[in-house]
Amino acid sequence: MDIIDGLLLNRSPIEPSEVLPLHLKRDLGLGDLSLLASIEAEGSSAIQMIQYAALAIEAGGASNVLCVFADAPVRSAGAAKTYSGSMDLTGLPGWDASSGLHGAVGAFAISAQRYFHVYGADDRALYAAASADRAWASLNPQAFIRGPLGEDDYFNSRWIVEPLRLFDCAFPVNGAVAVIVSSLDEADNCPKQPAYLHAFGQGHSGARNLAGNSPETQTGAEIASAKLLETLGATPALYDYCELYSPFTITSILALEGYGLCQPGEAPDLIASGTTKPGGKLPVNTGGGHLSSYYLQGMTPVHEAVVQARGDGGERQVPKNDIGLVTGFGGRMEYHSAMTISPHREL
């Protein structure tokens, strides 16, 4: 740990100071630091944290930055703590809760209903997304739930908020993930194969709760994607695989479209065709994602992307890993961050 000269924290919004306090630097026995901060941008924080570490290194502010996320929502009784309030979709204090809209699931159920109305899809599209993630989880020995997800299992599961069922929603777990972001000069000293970061993009949509807009399906993904591709000088066809921040099935659909991997309204057919499953042309959520692997917010896709970039995926290793897309989002998809990862120093 002597090489660490920077520490960035991505705290859980439920109990930020209890789970990941700033004095973690002391608890870990770290030496003097030239960089210390807690990054708060909801589910987009993990990738933002990595981006800010890279920027600090590029500016000479640090050489090796430890980026940490931890969360412990599940208590001894097995129940997960949840937000007691709403996602404040209207912007008017108390209105959402007074209408019975509590927590995140209701907000994303509205997104699913809106998507169904606009594009003519139905809950079979959600099942396809859930079963695709489960197919990947079956190849991941560390996945939270690995058994096959048949149609009967899915459609007979209980509603959480219609049209979202039990298997449309992420499984929270207790855990932590950390990565070290280092300068290129340090890469030759890595004890394991390094993964290289080539581009970052953020996208935070403006006030779309106005007539003529559709905040249920219009997200910050389009903005983040444009910035990412501008930096790369490429198109979405560049990506060999994708690790998406997707705590609900509808968010997988919206992310594939928002990041330009298919046209609006086409994601259900893309997923149903098997394109995103093991053996498909565009592997997506190769560890099982938030729905079947584990939910540690933005660090879930980051961790799996590092596994794939290093070639450590075992049965689930993608055949081509030259460049992967990794995404994160917060709120009801209005805060977005994305990055690309590769085993190659130069693309």
Contact 306, 148 (CB under 8 A): no
Q: Which residues contact 95 (CB under 8 A, 6 or more apart)?
A: none
Pick from 216, 124, 119, 114: nearest CA to 165:
124
Helix (H) or strand (E) holding 38: strand 35-38
Alpha helices in the chain (DSSP H): 16-19, 24-27, 45-58, 95-98, 103-119, 123-137, 151-155, 221-232, 249-258, 267-272, 299-310
CA dist 59 and 182 (Å) reads: 12
DSSP letter assigned to residue 64: E
Amino acid letter for position 103: G
Contact 10, 298 (CB under 8 A): yes
Query: Among all chains, which residue has been given the structure tokens 């990595």?
Result: 50
Residues known to be catalytic: 245, 295
Question: In this structure, what are the phi and psi dihedrals at residue 33, rounded to the nearest 5 degrees?
Answer: -115, 145
First to last CA, the chain: 30
Please state, in angstroms and as integers, the Cα–Cα distance from residue 120 to each residue in 112, 116, 179, 212, 258, following that order.
Answer: 11, 5, 41, 20, 18
Cross-strand partners of 326: 243, 339
